[in-house]
Structure 1
Amino acid sequence: MTSEPDMKIVEDTTPTVTKELKKPELIDRVVAVSGLKKKDVKPVVEATLAVLGQSLSDGEQLNLQPFGKTRTVKQKTLPNGQAMTVKLRRSAPSLEETEELPGTEQSPDAPSA
């Protein structure tokens, strides 16, 4: 007769739900935080996203506090675009600075300061 080893749960793998921020909502949040008019904010947000996208495509590291510091780990050209794995590191002061922005909800999974 063989004895079976005791099974133990090593890690809880509860799936997390990821919310998605799309450009129109980003523009609305920037309007709420800045107090500027949407017609003034929209071209700036679009230009910023274009510059950030090009910088990532060029393999540049981004160090944009309080957003954080990014580094492209993997990059692959596909027939329909580009796939990237990007690491983002945020410091504790950066987290605190963005914690109380108007128009944003704190995720229940987000680390608290």
Structure 2
Amino acid sequence: MVKVSDVYIRECETPWENAGEGVRRQIMAYNENLMMVKVEFEKGAIGTPHRHIHTQASYVVSGRFEVKIGDEKQILIAGDSFYVSPDTEHGVVCLESGILIDTFNPFREDFLKG
């Protein structure tokens, strides 16, 4: 069964999911090759270090984040972005409330319910 989002996705009609303490996400557009996810962080929230098979590119919409990829840490602000190779440990600490747009290839099947 092919998994694909609607062609048009309206933010006001898309549910938010709890993704950890002080973190929630909205699954936006996707098919089996690509997924876009909006992730909202409260100040102090942690995106726990993890790794996955997906290539990831993330864009900082707002806020300030300490991003750790492998052994390197950087502070990123609105307008910045980062890239994560498959199977590379990465995580974030939100220093000022903000939003990330994460994209994945292939899509994060584990994020979809059902």
Q: TM-score if structure 1 supplies the norm length?
A: 0.28
- Which structure shows the bigger proportion of residues in strand conformation? 2
Q: TM-score, normalized by length of structure 2?
A: 0.28
Which structure has more RCO (C-alpha within 8 Å, separation ≥ 6)? 2
If you compute each CA radius of gyration, which structure gives the higher value, 1 or 2? 1
